[in-house]
Chains A and B, each alone.
Chain A
Amino acid sequence: MPPSPLPEGRTETLVLDRLALDRRDGDGRSFSILALPALTLEPGTSLGVSGPSGSGKSSLLHLVAGLLTPSAGRVSWGKTVVSALGESERDRWRRRTLGFVFQDFHLVPELDVAANIALPASFSSWRLDAAGKRRALELAEQMGLADPRRRAALLSRGEQQRVAIARALFGEPALLLADEPTASLDVARGEAIGALLVEAAARCGASLICASHDAALLARMDRRLDLTPAPAKLAS
């Protein structure tokens, strides 16, 4: 799918440069979790990350999100070297730049659909303004969620993932990360959610990195990164 024209301010490029993540086992011996020589993701591009369990798909997302610090190399977002930021700066960067969709949705069951979608707004402002409320309701509508006042605990799994996608999109992120977004859904729901995710990212001009085992979802991506045995293969 050709990338759509990007909105203003969404022209940053994600660059992973000689990225490595090592860990030590119980005996103190170092082993590699992830080693990625180079990856550049142009604005508005979608990237599917595949590979068997334990190949480092989630770790890659966490490195990009700044939740993990690489053992070597760096993660850059435009001129910002994310991997070199302090914790509070990374929090701020995530808040302004990133949307995250989790495999198990991680909604707040006690809040309703609209409140879950708008939750990220409470991280930085005291009061959700009218535009924010309107955006939450619009996103709910776009995601096919009929009742925005329904508590998240009462939603089906498919509906919950739609809320999670809407929540990730609420802050109009420039980069959307999705970790196995269809893994806990049945095939039909997985297909629908996959299509919705890609479409939503494209609509708001966000770059999308999606780690998944789901071949149908991966097929929707502009680019693929297969983390099955090293060295990593980057395909267009």
Chain B
Amino acid sequence: MNPFPMLLADLRALRWTAPAIVLLVAIAIASGIAIGAQERALRQGSARAADDFDLIVGAPGSQTQLVMSAVYLQPEALPLLDGRILQALAQDERVAAFAPLGFGDVSRGYPVIGTTAAFAGRWGRIAASEGRLFAAEGEAVIGADVNYRLGDTIAPSHGTAGNQGRHGEDSEEEHAHRHEGHGYTVVGRLPKLGSPWDRAVLVPIESVWEIHGLGNGHASETAASDAPFWQAGTNKPGAPPKPQDRIGPPFDGKRVPGVPAIVIKPKSVAGAYTLRAQYRQGGTMAFFPAEVLVSLYGALGDIRSILVVASAANTVLILLSVVLLLIAVNGLRRRRYATLRALGAPRSYVLLVTWLGAALLIAAGCVLGLALGLAATHAVSGLVAARTGLALAPSVGIGELSQAALLCLVGSVLAALPALASYRAPVLSGLRAD
């Protein structure tokens, strides 16, 4: 037997209802797919962004807040660590490299981060895509998405609570809190990292300290601090730094200013754990960002589970509605199927026509739902990237495919209900139906 001529006729008869059924199922599937794919993309993207932050040390407080500030550059007022720790770390044999992170200033809505050139180059993992890394005070290297050009002068402002401005645009608030007389010359641009650091302006930590009148943390600070950054910032891209402008560790000044966070690259795993243990006492807090991320992912996973359950319930309700609708549609077609039977069609023919029709609509909804779910995930990822700079790479994984396949299977089983109703319908009452 060949149910397809009749099946196609049935689908043609549902030229408005069939697309509506497919769309309903697709929306139900897409919401589940989008939740799963988005959560995974968020986890992968955020973990990737934390790759170069092996161990973070900060003043006691919230680890989550420190991760959000140091890794994801969410503006927050953080207590400062004693600058002497920087001197201690420079002497520590367990430390391969370390970098202070100084936040708080902004320019055109971009956070200005004071750090070391080594960390700007992610411990040698990346090189500037244009120009070079900063090599002297008054120089800046910018993230891939920062709207400045090489050679531009960046005028930093003091960041204020609630004022994040719009990226790439000056604001009244920034003008009002400008660090007058200070500026940085853009000497390089970093490649795309897919993290909020793509929207950051990286400058020497010494410059950040000096802007705030704290010296530069080096023994030569008296001489250098007399030179305003407008003057220091006259370095041109490509020009070698002057010897007296040495920046970066060791910070050998008599008094090294404090910083909100220090990133440490330990030499070994064992060293990482002993460093973490050591800096967990005595007025400091040390942790691996993964620790915070794991607990964040736990919470995210809980939310995801709730959303998935809600979405699954929603999908089942929609599938049931579709099945009821199909039962009603088949009820209206009683005479059509009774005629087939009177003409000699076996009951199995009617069963196949009605089941295949319903199953095909549900399967089409599942496939469309996968595509819609992926599109929705891309759209949400775009929004997340636009808001945070965190590049997400959403994809439909085996989990989403299994979910869609399972719902397709459940839908196909449920589709047997209207088919069975038609299969069992008496021929004569069907022939007499209006």
A interface residues, Cβ below 8 angstroms from B = 62, 65, 67-68, 87-88, 91-92, 94-96, 98, 100, 102, 106, 108-111, 115, 119-120, 122-127, 167-168, 171
Known: A87-B347, A106-B336, A111-B9. A94 touches B1 (CB 8 A): no
Q: List residues 332-382 of chain B with CB under 8 A from any CB of chain A.
A: 335-336, 339-347, 349
Q: Is the CB of B342 within 8 A of A67?
A: yes
Q: How many residue-residue contacts, CB under 8 A, span A and B? A: 77
Closest to A124 in B: B1
A138 nearest CB across to chain B (Å): 19
Interface residues on B, range: 20 to 34
Selected contact of A123 from candidates B10, B349, B431, CB within 8 Å: B349
Q: In the complex, what residues of A have CB within 8 A of residue B8's CB?
A: 110
Q: Is the CB of A68 within 8 A of B5?
A: no
Q: Is the CB of A120 within 8 A of B2?
A: no
Closest to A171 in B: B344
Q: How far is the CA of A96 from the CA of B346 in the complex (A)?
A: 12
A151 nearest CB across to chain B (Å): 9
Q: In the complex, what residues of A have CB within 8 A of residue B431's CB?
A: 67, 102
Q: Is the CB of A95 within 8 A of B344?
A: yes
Q: How far is the CA of A94 from the CA of B431 in the complex (A)?
A: 16
Q: Is the CB of A126 within 8 A of B2?
A: yes
Q: In the complex, what residues of A have CB within 8 A of residue B342's CB?
A: 65, 67, 94, 100, 102
Q: How far is the CA of A111 from the CA of B1 in the complex (A)?
A: 18
Q: B277 at interface (Cβ–Cβ under 8 A)?
A: no
Q: Is the CB of B344 within 8 A of A122?
A: no
Q: Is the CB of A123 within 8 A of B345?
A: yes
Q: In the complex, what residues of B have CB within 8 A of residue A167's CB?
A: 343
Q: How far is the CA of A111 from the CA of B335 in the complex (A)?
A: 16
Q: B6 at interface (Cβ–Cβ under 8 A)?
A: yes
Q: In the complex, what residues of B have CB within 8 A of residue A68's CB?
A: 428
Known: A68-B428, A108-B336, A110-B12. A122 touches B346 (CB 8 A): no
B63 nearest CB across to chain A (Å): 66
Q: Is the CB of B1 within 8 A of A126?
A: yes
Q: Is the CB of A91 within 8 A of B2?
A: no
Q: In the complex, what residues of A have CB within 8 A of residue B34's CB?
A: none
B371 nearest CB across to chain A (Å): 28
Closest to A91 in B: B346
Q: In the complex, what residues of B have CB within 8 A of residue A111's CB?
A: 5, 9
A114 nearest CB across to chain B (Å): 11
A54 nearest CB across to chain B (Å): 13
Q: List residues 1-33 of chain B with CB under 8 A from any CB of chain A.
A: 1-6, 8-10, 12-13
Q: How far is the CA of A124 from the CA of B343 in the complex (A)?
A: 12
12 contacts between A and B (CB under 8 A): A67-B428, A102-B342, A106-B335, A106-B339, A108-B336, A110-B10, A119-B5, A122-B2, A122-B3, A123-B343, A126-B2, A167-B343
Known: A67-B428, A122-B3. A91 touches B336 (CB 8 A): no
Q: How far is the CA of A67 from the CA of B426 in the complex (A)?
A: 9
Q: List residues 210-265 of chain B with CB under 8 A from any CB of chain A.
A: none
Closest to B10 in A: A110
Q: Is the CB of B346 within 8 A of A123?
A: yes
Q: List residues 376-434 of chain B with CB under 8 A from any CB of chain A.
A: 427-428, 431
Q: How far is the CA of A126 from the CA of B349 in the complex (A)?
A: 12
Q: In the complex, what residues of B have CB within 8 A of residue A67's CB?
A: 341-342, 427-428, 431
Q: How far is the CA of A96 from the CA of B345 in the complex (A)?
A: 11
Known: A95-B344, A119-B5, A120-B344. A102 touches B349 (CB 8 A): no
Q: How far is the CA of A100 from the CA of B344 in the complex (A)?
A: 9
B433 nearest CB across to chain A (Å): 11
